[in-house]
Structure 1
Amino acid sequence: MQEAVALSIEGMHCGACVRRVTAALGKVEGVQVNFVEVGSASVTFNPEQVTVEKIAGAVNKIGFEARTEK
């Protein structure tokens, strides 16, 4: 079963930021990156493998602030 989450990401300013976030999310097991653009990301994930908190944590770990979009 797959779920999707949209993240709002603060601190992204350029294409290099997009590449860093894409790479970080791509390393999280159970996550498929749908798209990343300056300020946001959309991912599909397997909730049996990973939580939304862990996904956001991967982004936060590289210096950005991620939270789920309402």
Structure 2
Amino acid sequence: MSKVILNVEGMSCGACVNKVEESVGQLNGVESVKVQLPAGKADVTFNDSTINLDDIKVVIQNTGYEIKENADKEDGSACSCCG
């Protein structure tokens, strides 16, 4: 199992959290996903022999959010699911 913390931009409400957790959680090989809304992070535990990290990132991006490789500040961007 591998564990990664992804910096996800564009989330600002509970619906955003649900969208990311649901879409990533349904992937074959993902054991768990927990989004920390205030920090803009998603903790993902997955079986790297079943799914790779790039596939997980693509699913998050297809859900309407961006992955930021080096998050060093929050920018207060608008919610991408309801605004």
User: For this structure pair, what is the TM-score category when the shorter chain's length is used for normalisation?
Assistant: 0.7 to 0.9
After superposition, give the CA deviation of every residue in 1:18-41 in whole Å (9 maximum; x if it has no partner).
Answer: 000000111111002241121110
Change in 2 beyond 3 A, CA 1:67/1:52: farther
**Corresponding residue for residue 31 of structure 2:** 32
Gaps of 5+ in 1: none
Larger strand fraction of residues: 1
Stretches of 4+ aligned residues off by more than 3 angstroms: 67-70
Gaps of 5+ in 2: 72-83
Say if 1:9 and 1:64, in contact at 8 Å, map to a contact too.
yes
Identical residues among aligned pairs (%):
35
Say if 2:25 and 2:33, in contact at 8 Å, map to a contact too.
no
Give the CA RMSD over aligned residues: 1.6
Q: TM-score, normalised by structure 2?
A: 0.75
Q: TM-score, normalised by structure 1?
A: 0.87
Task: Name the larger-Rg structure.
Answer: 2
